[in-house]
Chains A and B, each alone.
Chain A
Amino acid sequence: MATADPELIQIRTRVNGEARSLTLDPRASAADVLREDLDLTGTKIVCAAGVCGACTVMIDGMPATACTLPACALADAELRTVEDMGRDIGGGLHPIQKAFLVHDGLQCGYCTPGFIVESISFFDRWRAKEGKTEPPRDAIAHALSGHLCRCGAYVGIYAAVAAACRGDFDGDALPDYPRHDGPQKVTGAARYTTDVRYPGMLTAKYLGSAHTHAKVLAMRFEAALAVEGVEAVLDVLDDPHRVARYAGQPIAAVAAVDEATAARALALIEVEYEPRPFVVDPYEALREGAPEVFPESKKHPANASEGPIPPATWEGNLRKPMLNKLLSSHKGRAHDKLARAQAGEDGLVLVEGTYHTAGQSHTSLEPHCCVARWTDEGLTVHTSTQSVHLLMQELAEHYRLKESQVLVHAEFVGGAFGGKQGLQLETTTAVDLARATGKAVRLVHDREEEMVFGGYRPLTRIELSAVTNAELEPLGLTMRAYGTAGVAVQSQAAPWVRMTYAGPKDLEDFDVTTNTSPGKPMRAPSGPPAFWALESLVDEVAHATGSDPVALRRKWDDSEVRRGLYDWAESLPEWQGRPKAGSQRGRMVSGVGLAIGNWFNAFHNATRVQLDAGPEGVVARCAVQDMGNGSRSVIAKAVGETLGLPLREVAVDLGASNLPPGPNSSASRTTASIYPTSLQAAEMLQAKLVAAAKKAGLRHPKYGLDAASGRGGIAHDGGFVPLSEFLRGLEAPIRVTSKRRGGNSTFDLLGAMPSGRMGISVYPKMTGSLAVVSVEVDTLLGRVYPRKVWLGLASGKIVNPELARSQAYGAVIQCLGAALTEERHYDPATGFLLSANLEDYRIPGIADIPPIEIFFDEGGFEGMKGGACGLSELAVLPTVAAVGNAVFNATGWRPRDVPLRPQRVQEHVAHLAHSSQEAG
């Protein structure tokens, strides 16, 4: 039934202690009103469906998801948002907020406001009932089960809530905490791109292709433009042949005064399509005569990797990169051994397996988004990006501006995981609409759009075989890896398999294109599937040869870096006490599995860090970004420790492109780039300070630390001047700028990264990781419960152990998602993504997370400047296979297909539940 817009209604309410009268659209949610009308942007919208808890507020003292709370329900109610939490307490922070800071219960911070509000509510109820005691893990898990965190900050959250409840943070004092920007994140003060507001700002929305594969012959915008409040409509189809190649692909965009108006206008855009045959399923795509995804030319697939797209040959939808030839070693020998083993030659052991992984969505809780504005000076863009500096350069090039005319802001980024690099469609769309309208324009993906085209790790099918003998020699390894990233290419398992383990190898990568949305690079692109397959296979070899999994790896593995990790794993009592595979019967069986990872070690060779010292203190500046990885903390730590200043007293200015160039946060090189550069800058500053002291007449000045306070300052013949005091007396502020140089790298891959601008250098030694996972399997129901995870990392010096641990926890948790729950589901008739929300796409929740222990083996990289390598990608490699190997150890059934959801597991293990008697 067609109904006109409803009349607005008036209500009275109290928000954060203040009486308010509001005029509302009765359809609106409380979240919309808080964010858009009251500018209380601490409350975040992520799923808009009551699933993720990011929007949690307190209404009349109890938590509610503001996205599903009708704004009308605020009438005569008392509403409190994160901005109000702790305000009435000495020091301005609630014990829960302090506990989150100290136990690092956050990374990007986008989920944090919701967790804080819910945890405070739990804290109050717990204290009222149980007093100052520590709640068990289960109680915390239940209380916070309505919240999701994509960074995987759950380990810190458990610790924080437990510590706050037992009274660790009841006093006014705020102890030291590791995350420099934590205070803004636990109070809701951090402003992300989605929170940016300009007066008169317009809201933009995409029109998605109604066809899975169609030539767009014409689009007519007149009717849409005629809608009151619509200011521009643009064609955004990004394809040289005017073809939309997947259902929902953005083809046009509208800018209007608000979202509802934009949505109305979208429906009025007339599109003339010429539909074409299409293919959705990768197996279908390989069939003779299957419709081709790129029938007119193969030149323009999207790129799911971080490297350039190398030349390739195509057969229909199958792409074979020419690089394949380079990636094998002693291919003939590998082949020959395989043939002989297959023919049953004596003394050879052949193990073969085909392994699958489902696509894994990045689904950062802050979606892709952009706010763009043109001014007389040029272009200002706020966007959720992991490459502030590079994006500025790309925008300047794209819009033919000088670099000085483009300003990119990304002070806070709500997660990225590889999916937010370089110039993307949401940015060009917002910028173009801003130019067309002369106003600020905001474009924010809704969760469905984020799930459909926000990015995912390609799905893979990897066929592997290995040949060995009684001496366990690596005689040959062959691999055929098929990756599907929809309309994108460059899923590559071969490089990682090539670099791991000795022996002859015949390796090939293929892409199978389909008419589905494009994959994007994700945290260690193609790494987790490659190691899932390889490390499952190696476990199978160990089983087939009756050898010990660690002994076998020691034999095959030529990395000295991992030796310490093997020693550590072998020392774990749980590993030593693991059962014999398949020896158990009954409903609950348990097992332990192990797997390794191997990753390259890179840094950005053009990073600069600027330090300004003056009466206000020390400010570090760099156009790097912090997506929860802790860039601010790394810089503050390097500067603070060198200068003898507490972390909190080093101001860090980042996330804006008008600062000195910083690295693209990809290829795990952020820390390796900014840490040594910051150290160097601090050393340069010390020298300048000493020179200034000399000039000021101090005798024999030296930079040093005060033994009593640990604070830095100028020691001279007449005594000691603390730094802060010295700075207050400075005549002129001091500025130094340091630069990261290529230095001791084997080769500089200048130009290899997306734009050709960002220098990347590779250090000649690979980093290593090793995961051990203990699981329990309910064989009756097919449920796999991880009970404990250990992750060992050999990535050189750990600059900031708390934050490094947080990153590693997050990596393990994302792997548990890939191993157990995360799966993209498509409609076979259209290729449209059905699991395009956070209830059908299942990322791990807090109750799914077992205790996780991280071990750092810091030796081996002393030769590298700073000695600190990245670990974000290294940490996501081994855990998925370790889960599979643990399930095999527990049940005797070999999983070859992840995620291990109950529907994949139950049929294979149910017989164990029914045979408890036999076990005795």
Chain B
Amino acid sequence: MSAYTRAKTIEDVTQSGAELRAGGTDIQERLRSGVTSLPIVDVAAIPGLDGVELHDDRAGIGALVSIRAVGAHPELQRRYPALTLPAQLLATPQARLRGTMGGVLCQRTRCWYYRSRHMPCPKKGNAERCPSRAGNHHFGVVFDFGPCVYPHPSSIGCALLTYDAELSVTGRGRMPVAELYGDGSALRDHSLDPGEMITAIHMPAAAAGERGGYQRLMSRALAEWPLVEVVVRLVVEDGVVRLARVGIGGVANVPFRLTEVEEALEGEAATDAEFEAAAKLATTRAKPLPQTQYKLPMVEALVLSTLLQARDEGGGDLDFAM
């Protein structure tokens, strides 16, 4: 196997059996620190994967489309506000420009044990047990789904879950996004093996009149990994919630949906009181760690705040993401 392949076709990728490099905004740092080593396969130059295709009842997004291009796409903004809002707010402007849709879904954990070349972590194969669980997990999970206690990094993964989007993956055909992440019981950031590649993202039809909300709770205004992030899709007709989808990140080792909140909202009046009652269910499945208790009230508060945003604002464009 060669240490480095510059793929021109998808077959080159499959054959390489190597870890992919797309925009490089994640993997490049790991290569420098030595946390990740060769072989790698560069996919950035494969033609035909950087387009957005719009149909009346669906949309397709190539895996090499940049996060920025998704966030800035007027038609995606109109139809899929809960996707374009996080695409405009996550990371930094530079990372959104170079970071790809495939990369944002498959990026590796930002856990400080994992990222430091001096620290052990079972995901790097140099520890048996997670050192963060017994150690410092201040930024850790509050929904304890499995061995890893660091939150999954993907904001877009969180958004795509609320749409039940599907992925085209080499050798696997189509698979739901939920399958990429699983339930958190495995010690992996996603379920793809080296040499496997997402080639496209498939968005189902948006609901008529759908509104979006996205909020991140951080200590700085912008460009910080969130303590909690929430994505909301909402359809309100005649003051009644017809559809509610709530995705949450920053709180578990996989992005997931708060189905209990969704169920409580659907069919109810879109009032502050109903939203507050539904938001209270957000922590039903939570299991905080000793140092992450503080996230419990945050989860509830941010779910409420994002529901209100979706109801009262709802658009998919932030004015400032030029």
Question: Interface on A for B, CB 8 Å cutoff?
Answer: 1, 3-7, 9, 26-27, 29, 48-51, 53, 56, 62-65, 67-70, 72-73, 75, 118, 122, 125-126, 129, 138-139, 141-143, 145-146, 208, 247-248, 263, 448, 780-783, 820-821, 825-829, 832, 834-837, 839-840, 842, 844-845, 847-848, 899, 901-903, 906-907, 910, 913
Contacts and interface: CB of A to CB of B under 8 A. Distances in A.
A125 B321 CA distance: 11
B136 A826 contact: yes
Chain B contact surface mostly: loop
B38 A829 contact: no
Contacts of A5: 3
B24 interface: yes
A70 B99 CA distance: 12
Contacts of A3: 1, 3, 37-39
Contacts of B21: 70
A829 B97 contact: no
B108 interface: no
A145 B322 contact: no
B301 interface: yes
Contacts of B110: 839
Nearest to B34: A263
Contacts of A64: 94, 97-98
Which of A53, A67, A820, A827 has the most chain B CB atoms closer than 10 A to its own CB? A827
7 contacts: A48-B32, A49-B29, A50-B92, A68-B23, A834-B112, A842-B220, A899-B219
A907 B297 CA distance: 8
Contact of A248 (B6, B23, B95, B118): B118
Contact of B92 (A53, A62, A122, A844): A53
A834 B298 contact: no
Interface stretch (B168-176, B221-229, B281-289): B221-229
Given A56-B94, A72-B44, A145-B93, 7 more contacts: A3-B39, A26-B6, A142-B222, A825-B112, A835-B112, A902-B218, A906-B294
Contact of B217 (A783, A826, A839): A783
A125 B294 CA distance: 41
Interface of B: 1-4, 6, 21, 23-26, 28-29, 31-32, 34, 37-40, 42, 44-45, 91-95, 97-98, 110, 112-113, 115-119, 131, 134-136, 138-139, 217-225, 227, 294-295, 297-298, 301-302, 304-305, 318-322
Contacts of B28: 29, 50, 67-70
Contact of A63 (B29, B94, B319): B94
Contacts of A69: 24, 28, 98
A143 B31 CA distance: 28
B112 A50 contact: no
A48 B39 contact: no
Contacts of B113: 827, 834
B24 A73 contact: yes
A139 B320 CA distance: 5
A122 B322 CA distance: 8
Which of A48, A129, A906 has the most chain B CB atoms closer than 10 A to its own CB? A906
A820 B322 contact: no
A49 B25 CA distance: 8
Given A48-B32, A848-B220, A143 B40 contact: no
Contacts of B318: 142
A847 B222 contact: yes
Contacts of B225: 839
A906 B92 contact: no
A744 B100 CA distance: 65
| 4 shortest interchain CB distances as A-B pairs | A146-B92, A847-B221, A6-B3, A145-B222
A845 B3 contact: no
A673 to B, nearest CB: 37
Contacts of A827: 113, 119, 131, 135-136
Given A781-B217, A832-B119, A26 B40 contact: yes
Nearest to A452: B118
B232 to A, nearest CB: 15
B94 A53 contact: yes
Contacts of B32: 27, 29, 48, 67
Nearest to A63: B94
Contacts of B117: 448
A142 B93 contact: yes
A827 B134 CA distance: 10
A820 B294 CA distance: 17
Contacts of B304: 780
Contact of B221 (A29, A248, A836, A848): A848
B221 A845 contact: yes
Contacts of A68: 23-26, 28-29, 95, 98
Contacts of A65: 25, 92, 94-95, 98
B294 A73 contact: no
A893 B146 CA distance: 37
A141 B294 CA distance: 29
Contacts of A146: 91-95, 223
B321 A142 contact: yes
Contacts of A143: 93, 320, 322
Contacts of B223: 51, 145-146, 845, 847
Contacts of B1: 3
Contacts of A906: 294, 297-298, 301
B116 A847 contact: no
Contacts of A145: 92-93, 221-223
Contacts of B297: 906-907, 910
Nearest to B321: A142
B141 to A, nearest CB: 14
A261 to B, nearest CB: 13
A872 B115 CA distance: 35
A192 B45 CA distance: 36
A27 B298 contact: no
A609 B168 CA distance: 70
A59 to B, nearest CB: 8
A125 B68 CA distance: 14
A263 B31 CA distance: 13
Contacts of A129: 322
A51 B92 contact: yes
B224 A781 contact: no
A693 B44 CA distance: 71
Contacts of B40: 26-27
Contact of B42 (A70, A125, A848): A70
Given A842-B220, A848-B220, A829 B92 contact: no
Contacts of B34: 263
Contacts of A75: 45
Nearest to A8: B4
Given A6-B38, A834-B112, A829 B135 contact: yes
A163 to B, nearest CB: 18
Contacts of A836: 112, 116
Contact of A48 (B29, B218, B301): B29
Nearest to A65: B94
Contacts of B220: 821, 842, 844-845, 847-848
A149 B119 CA distance: 28
A835 B44 CA distance: 32
Given A29-B28, A899-B219, A781 B298 contact: yes
A608 to B, nearest CB: 45
Which of A69, A248, A263, A903 has the most chain B CB atoms closer than 10 A to its own CB? A903
Given A9-B4, A839-B225, A842-B224, A834 B42 contact: no
B134 A829 contact: yes
Contacts of A63: 93-94, 97
Nearest to B68: A62
B224 to A, nearest CB: 6
A826 B115 CA distance: 14
A522 to B, nearest CB: 21
A274 B174 CA distance: 56
Contact of B219 (A9, A73, A821): A821
Contacts of A248: 118
